[in-house]
């Protein structure tokens, strides 16, 4: 089990995510050294921000999917709260966000756990028997995307 150290580079990817998504104060809270309670608080905020983003952004969806997402994210918050170490906390976040990624493209595969190894071939990973996902972009959204891409390029962001 890794111990939290006073080291900016330790867990930098997560610190950077907190800053990009939750703001500079979130980054400052965990920057050099923060106890597990602070990491848990920021992780809960991250999950809640994702829940609010989904609720505010995903407009056409069936009620069962909404319930599954809510249940998954609520369980993610519970996982975070029960974490006894930063390793468990990160494992909890990884599991929650991994499941959410599958749910976002259709559904979380259930029968794969009965197989020794699931081959990475399209027929095993086409996740649309329950629902189909479609991302659409209006002309205004395309213009915003181009503007943001241009601004990012001018600021040296990738």
- One DSSP character per residue, 80-101 reads HHH--SHHHHHHHHHHHHHHHH
Confidence of residue 6 (pLDDT cuts 50, 70, 90): confident
**Res 2 pLDDT > 80:** no
- Please count the structural domains in the chain: 1
| Residue that has been written with the tokens 């095993």 in this structure | 124
If 0-12 CB within 10 Å is exposed, 13-18 middle and 19+ buried, where does residue 19 land? middle
**Res 66 pLDDT > 70:** yes
Is residue 7 domain-resident?
no
For 96-149, the pLDDT digits (tens) are: 999 999 999 988 888 788 889 989 999 889 988 888 888 899 999 999 999 999
Is residue 3 domain-resident?
no
pLDDT of residue 24: 96
Is residue 141 domain-resident?
yes
Q: Token pair for residue 98?
A: 């991994």
**Structural domain of 117:** 12-154
pLDDT of residue 129: 87
Is residue 2 domain-resident?
no
Is residue 115 domain-resident?
yes
Q: Give the ranges where the chain is alpha helix by DSSP (H).
A: 12-22, 24-30, 36-57, 63-82, 86-104, 122-125, 139-154
pTM of structure: 0.86
CA distance 97 to 3: 23
Percent of the chain with pLDDT over 90: 66
Confidence of residue 4 (pLDDT cuts 50, 70, 90): confident
Q: Is residue 43 within 8 Å of residue 51, measured between CB atoms?
A: no
**Res 158 pLDDT > 70:** no
Confidence of residue 93 (pLDDT cuts 50, 70, 90): very high
Q: Is residue 89 within 8 Å of residue 40, measured between CB atoms?
A: yes
Closest CA to 68 of 120, 106, 114: 106
The pLDDT of 73-78, averaged and rounded, is: 98
Three-state secondary structure call for residue 7: coil
Is residue 140 domain-resident?
yes
Is residue 6 domain-resident?
no
Cα 115 to its chain centre, rounded Å, is: 27
């Amino acid at each position: 089990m890794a111990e939290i150290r006073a080291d900016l580079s330790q867990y930098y990817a997560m610190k950077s995510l907190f800053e990009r998504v939750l703001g500079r104060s979130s980054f400052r809270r965990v920057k050099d050294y923060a106890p597990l309670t602070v990491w848990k608080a920021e992780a809960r905020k991250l999950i809640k921000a994702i829940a609010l983003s989904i609720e505010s952004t995903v407009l056409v969806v069936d009620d069962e999917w909404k319930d599954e997402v809510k249940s998954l994210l609520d369980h993610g918050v519970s996982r975070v709260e029960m974490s006894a170490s930063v390793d468990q906390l990160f494992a909890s976040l990884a599991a929650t966000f991994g499941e959410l990624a599958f749910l976002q493209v259709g559904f979380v595969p259930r029968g794969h756990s009965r197989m020794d190894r699931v081959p990475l071939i399209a027929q095993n990973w086409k996740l649309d028997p329950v629902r189909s996902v479609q991302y659409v972009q209006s002309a205004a959204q395309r213009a915003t995307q181009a503007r943001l891409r241009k601004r990012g390029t001018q600021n040296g962001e990738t």
